[in-house]
Amino acid sequence: MSTHLTSARRAQSPIRRALTTLAAAASAATVVLTGSLLTAPQAQARPSDIVAVSSGTRAADSQKLLDQVNSHRASRGLKPVKYSKSLSGLAQGQSDRLVNQEVINHSNTFLTDRRAA
């Protein structure tokens, strides 16, 4: 190592050396991880992952979820919420859209939907 570099390193504070080392390690990790993400295969659902359920099962699951939400709310001293057919329809429409488009994202279009008033 040249004398110039050695004296420059000695002049750096221990904190600056640690930050420089950390930045170099983070940069190297980013390069490695980004490369593996770019080559990773896209996730696909298998046909066995998608199942049909009866309307009775769907209704029972919906009630169970509502009961769990209200149980949690009660534990926090809050009043229970009630089932809303119109809000449920909005949520189901959004869920159907996500499935059909094969995406996961959020939308705030319900804010302007009169059914959510």
Contacts 24+ apart (CB under 8 A), 94-101: none
Q: How far apart are CA 85 and CA 87, in angstroms?
A: 6
For residues 103 and 33, which has the higher predicted lDDT (pLDDT)? 103
> DSSP assignment, residue 89?
H
* HSE (side-chain half, CA atoms, 13 Å) at 103: 6
- Per residue in 14-44, is it b (16+ CB within 10 Å) or e — as a string? eeeeeeeeeeeeeeeeeeeeeeeeeeeeeee
pLDDT digits (tens, 9 = 90+) for 64-112: 999 999 999 999 999 999 998 888 888 888 888 888 888 888 878 778 8
What would you report as the CA-atom Rg of the chain, rounded to the nearest whole angstrom? 27
For residues 26 and 94, which has the higher predicted lDDT (pLDDT)? 94
> DSSP assignment, residue 40?
S
